[in-house]
Structure formats: C-alpha cells, structure tokens
C-alpha cells in the first residue's frame, strides 16, 4: 500500500510557506543544530531519485527549493518516480547500471532486499559524522535498522506508521474523551470494543474505519503486541495461536458491525472525514487531508489492544548506489544533502511523518505541531516488517497478506483459512530465489 496520495506533476521550482519556514528555522539555529563542516561541493552534480508524489511530493519539492537556495554551488537534479513497484524496479535497474543516481530514497524495510552490499554502497559513517549525523542524533531503533552486518547502509529521514485518529466532536458526544480532550485509554480487547460501540451509537453507522483491503499493517501491529515473531528463512515460522487470536479479533470488529467489511485506501479516510465513524486506524500521512477539510480531530499511537501500543511502520531513508568507479566528491555531496534534509525535517513533519533526527523531533518547534506531537512516542516503538528480500513496503509479502486477510473482514475466509493461505504464500516466497 502506498504512503501518499494522488500523483502530482514532475518536480519543479516552487516556493511555499514551508520553504520560508526552513529559512526561519535556519536563522534560529534549529535547522543546523549539531552540524559540522559545510561541504565543499563547488561544481558537484547531485542526482537524486525519490518516490514521493501527492502531499509528500509537494513537501519534498519545497524542501528541495530551500536546499537549492542554500547550495547554489551544487547542480542539483531530483527525479520523482511512481510509488511502489514502478519506483523499485527503476531503482534496481538504475543501481545495477551504476550511473543513474547519486543518492536515492527507499523504505528502510527494503534495504536488505534491494542489494545492501551489492547495488547499495555503505554510507561513510565518518563523513556523515562531519555533518553532525550519527547514532547520538538519530532515533536509536531506526538507526540500528540502517545497519547490515554491522555496516551503515542508510540515512533515515523519518518514521511513518499506523496510528489512531479520532473525531473530537463525535468522541466527546460518546463520552470517550479524557479531561485533556484526548481519547481515553482502554485495556484489553473488550474495553476497546466497548469504546467502539459507544462511538457507533453516536454516528449511527460505525465506530471505526480501517483499511480492510490492506490488513497486513493491522495484523502485524496486533501480532507484535502479543509478542509474535515471524521468521522467513528456510521456512515460515510463526505463532499460530497468536496469529489466530489477532485474526479473530479483526473478524469480530467487522462482524459486530463496528467497522465496514470492505474499505480501501481512498475510501477509509473519506469515510472518517464524512463522519460515518468517529475513529480511524490509518497512516500518519493522512493528516494534511483532514487539516485541509477543517476537521477537529486528534491523534494518538495505535491502540494497545493486546499489550503495549505498538504499530506497524517504516522509515524513508537515503542510500548511496554502488559505484564502479569511486567518486569522493559525489559521495560527499550526497551525504551532505542527506544531512541537510534531516536537519530541515520539521518541514517534512508537517505531512505527518516523525523526524528521525532527534534535535528536530525533540525541539520546541515540533512540540508545537498539532496533532503530530501527540503520537511522537510511537516512533520509538515502530514495528518494522520481518527481514526477507520479499518483505517490507510495496513488497510481495505485504501484497499477499493484504489479499488473504481481507477475507477475514468480509467473511470470505475464516481466521484459520486465512492464516493457512498466508503461510502457503509465504512459503512460496521463501522458496523463490532472491532477484538481487
């Protein structure tokens, strides 16, 4: 499933309020907090590839405009491709050719499967440290994910994950807000279902909406709350009892009429916006949609139904292609660009993603962002997909799980049938040689 909205035209120069905000932050010292020496990249050409369209794409353009203004000595050439498989196919072909880009964006969950050590070169940690980026300035759980066999291969920009949205007016009428206007805490599945029923009594339709056609994110969040693991090496090893407990809970939400039995990526936020439900489980990147609509809504981490409030998610990160011929100047310019982007990621946070760079994520400016600051803690516990070449964002494992688990919501499959089908599909993927 994609983490952005509808595609936008190719990137072009455009200055907006976030570009101006970047200048303000730089003047205040936040954007350059912790930075070291400025790169000497006069005359360097920097080719950057990314997969950001829609709202994310617009913010990336504004950040790039600010980067150009701050680095006139760099011949900066960004290119945007369609999210998902179109991008990753292009990425693989470009990296294999060795001349396509100097730095590119990918989901951190795809790092191993897309050729760390073959198509992707290590990031010179000492060079990154010159620009003030290292393990002490990046969210630890995300930084650790950037290493393969003890070597750094990625520079994380953000964390994005599944969170809880709530309509304040509806939830106030249902009596499920606390004294501070936040959604009340629940303990265990029964209390959560009771909360949904109270909200449904107000809307007259549903208590919550979620993307039932993409059930992997919901399943993995709850399965991890139960302490479930999934090993995809040699065979498929998982805890069937915990998996069935999760799938039965998801089935029950739909069969009890608390959520629509079928809801896709465009329909889920639309139904939350039009008020047929008072809550939504969805990606943090939906914030701009509801803000533009003038909704009075709040956010908090994914609900802790079976334990801690863990939610499935990922990280957008920068990587360097393998170079047949070393080019120190190009590598330096690429690393400097990534460091600049991290230090200016308050602009990026406007779209909902939580900055990986701690001086921004812990700043007073980020504290003032509503409702982003209310789910900031979720990034510290983001649940990445299991390691495998076919796992991660827009990868085959998610696609297979989404197809199978959707049947649990609409009654086409029992939890037992869905789990058996998922495991068969996963075993076929395990038995398929990695293409990279």
Domains present along the chain, CATH in parentheses: 17-157+315-362 (3.40.190.10), 162-312+386-430 (3.40.190.10)
The residue behind tokens 């809970």 is 249
pLDDT at 30 over 70: no
Whole-number mean pLDDT of the chain? 90
pLDDT at 42: 56
Three-state SS for 158?
A: strand
Is the pLDDT score of 34 beyond 50?
A: no
Q: How confident is the model at residue 98 (pLDDT cuts 50, 70, 90)?
A: confident
pLDDT value at 25 more than 50? no
Per-residue confidence (pLDDT) for residue 392, from 0 to 100? 96
Burial class (CB in 10 A: 0-12, 13-18, 19+), 26: middle
- Mean pLDDT across 331-339: 97
Confidence check: pLDDT of 400 > 70? yes
Q: How far is CA 287 from CA 22, 162, 165, in A?
A: 20, 12, 9
**Percent share of the chain, pLDDT over 70:** 90
pLDDT (average), residues 368-382 = 96
What is the pLDDT, as a whole number, of residue 97?
80
Lowest mean pLDDT among 96-100, 171-175, 335-339, 349-353: 96-100
pLDDT grade for 376, boundaries at 50, 70 and 90:
very high
Rounded Cα–Cα distance for residues 409 and 9 (Å): 36
The answer to whether the beta carbons of residues 380 and 223 sit under 8 Å apart is no
What pLDDT does residue 11 have?
Answer: 43
Cα distance from N-terminal residue to C-terminal residue, the chain: 22
Q: pLDDT value at position 39?
A: 43
| Structure confidence at residue 393 (pLDDT) | 96
246, burial (CB in 10 Å: exposed 0-12, middle 13-18, buried 19+): buried
With 0-12 CB in 10 A as exposed, 13-18 as middle and 19+ as buried, what is 124? middle
Nearest to 145 by CA among 412, 400, 418, 381: 381
- Give residue 240's pLDDT: 98
Q: Are strands 45-50 and 75-80 parallel, antiparallel or unpaired?
A: parallel
What are 46-89's pLDDT values in tens digits? 999 999 998 899 999 999 999 999 999 999 999 999 999 899 99
Residues of the chain with pLDDT > 90, as a percent, come to 85
Judge whether residue 5 has pLDDT over 60. no
What is the band of 176 on the pLDDT scale with cuts at 50, 70, 90?
A: very high
- What does the H/E/C string look like for 234-283? CEEEECHHHHHHHHHHHHHHHHCCCCCCCCCCCHHHHHHHCCCCCEEEEE
**pLDDT range class, residue 18, cuts 50, 70, 90:** very low
At 100-121, the pLDDT tens digits run 899 999 999 999 999 898 999 9
**pLDDT at position 413 over 50:** yes
pLDDT band at 298 (very low <50, low <70, confident <90, very high): very high
Beta-strand ranges (E) seen in 53-195 are: 75-80, 103-107, 120-121, 147-148, 151-152, 155-156, 158-167
């Amino acid at each position: 499933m994609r983490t952005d909205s509808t595609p936008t035209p190719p990137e072009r120069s455009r200055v907006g309020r976030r570009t101006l905000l970047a200048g303000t932050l730089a003047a205040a010292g936040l954007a350059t907090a912790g930075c070291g020496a400025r790169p000497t990249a006069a005359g360097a050409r920097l080719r950057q590839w990314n997969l950001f369209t829609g709202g994310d794409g617009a913010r990336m353009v504004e950040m790039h405009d600010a980067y150009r203004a701050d680095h006139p000595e760099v011949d900066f050439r960004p290119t945007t491709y369609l999210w998902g498989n179109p991008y990753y196919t292009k990425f693989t072909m470009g990296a294999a050719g060795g001349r396509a880009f100097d730095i590119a964006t990918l989901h951190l969950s795809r790092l191993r499967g897309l050729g760390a050590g073959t198509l992707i070169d290590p990031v010179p940690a000492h060079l990154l440290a010159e620009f003030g980026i290292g393990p002490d300035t990046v969210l630890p759980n995300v930084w650790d994910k950037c290493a393969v066999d003890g070597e750094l291969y990625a520079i994380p920009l953000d964390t994005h994950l599944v969170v809880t949205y709530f309509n304040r007016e509806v939830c106030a009428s249902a009596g499920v807000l606390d004294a501070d206007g936040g959604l009340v805490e629940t303990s265990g599945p029964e209390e959560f279902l009771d909360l949904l029923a109270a909200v449904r009594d107000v809307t007259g339709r549903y208590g919550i909406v979620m993307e039932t056609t993409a059930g992997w994110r919901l399943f993995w969040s709850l399965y991890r709350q139960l302490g479930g693991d999934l090993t995809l090496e040699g065979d498929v090893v998982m805890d069937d009892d915990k998996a069935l407990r999760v799938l039965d809970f998801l089935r029950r939400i739909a069969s009890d009429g608390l959520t629509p039995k079928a809801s896709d990526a465009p329909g889920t936020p639309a139904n939350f916006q039009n008020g047929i439900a008072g809550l939504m489980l969805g990606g943090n990147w939906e914030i701009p949609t509801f803000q533009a609509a003038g909704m009075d809504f709040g956010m908090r981490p994914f609900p802790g139904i079976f334990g801690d409030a863990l939610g499935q998610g990922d990280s957008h990160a920068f990587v360097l292609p393998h170079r047949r011929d070393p080019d120190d100047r190009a590598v330096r310019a690429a690393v400097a660009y990534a460091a600049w982007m991290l230090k200016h990621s308050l602009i990026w946070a406007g779209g909902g993603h939580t900055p990986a760079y701690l001086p921004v994520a812990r700043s007073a400016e980020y504290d003032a962002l509503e409702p982003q600051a209310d789910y900031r803690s979720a990034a510290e516990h983001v649940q990445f997909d299991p390691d495998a070449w076919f796992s991660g964002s827009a990868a085959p494992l998610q696609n297979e799980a989404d197809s199978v688990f959707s049947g649990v919501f609409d009654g086409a499959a029992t939890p037992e049938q869905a789990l058996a089908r998922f495991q068969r599909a996963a075993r076929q993927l395990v038995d398929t040689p990695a293409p990279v």
